[in-house]
Amino acid sequence: MSTITLPAKMENLRRLVQFVSGCARHQGYSESRTNEIELAAEEALVNICRYAYPGEEGDVALRCRRSGRDKIIIEIEDSGIPFDPLSAPEPDLRPDIARRAAGGLGIFLIRKMVNEVHYRRHVNKNILTFIVSPEKRPVDALKEHAHSTQGRKSA
């Protein structure tokens, strides 16, 4: 298992994202799949850097480990305010530039890019877990999964 812990600050974002992509490349994932996983990691990490520690500083820890033949489990942990990103409402995807709201796409993209995403609050920590495979799951399976994780709430 590889791990990295850094202050949750935007200036560390690239190092953190590169840690995740390094794990994917190390497992022989394709460049395009690595890009998708990086995207999911960036979206989660930006949320933590911007909102997990209002008015104070704190760390974010990343843990990557292989699971089974070719899956990777990526855990993103912070000690900030309780926040379950999976409870966020679906973003506004209306095909209308003027009325479309700008926020909420991050979590949506995470759901689309990783094979599974789970959240748990454990001993005052937020732990977001991605399970990824060398191939993305078909869109239908992703939709079903979105339903199964949507109802989770932070403790």
Partner 1 sequence: MEVACRKEKNTAIVSVKGRMDAVCSMDFEKILDEQIASGQTRFIIDFSGLEYISSAGLQCILTTAKKLEPRQGDLILAALKGTVKEVFEISGFSSIFTIAESVDSALAGA
84 binds partner 1 (CB under 8 A): no
Looking up tokens 């999964």 gives: 145
CB 133 within 8 A of CB 70: yes
CB 27 within 8 A of CB 70: yes
Q: Please, what is the minimum distance in Å from the beta carbon of residue 120 to partner 1? A: 24
36 binds partner 1 (CB under 8 A): yes
Q: How far apart are CA 40 and CA 86, in angstroms?
A: 13
Report residue 134 as tokens.
């060398």
Q: Which of residues 98-127 bind partner 1 (CB under 8 A)?
A: 98, 100, 102-103, 105-106, 108-109, 112
Chain residues binding partner 1 by CB under 8 A are 10, 13-14, 17, 32, 35-36, 38-39, 42-43, 46, 93-98, 100, 102-103, 105-106, 108-109, 112
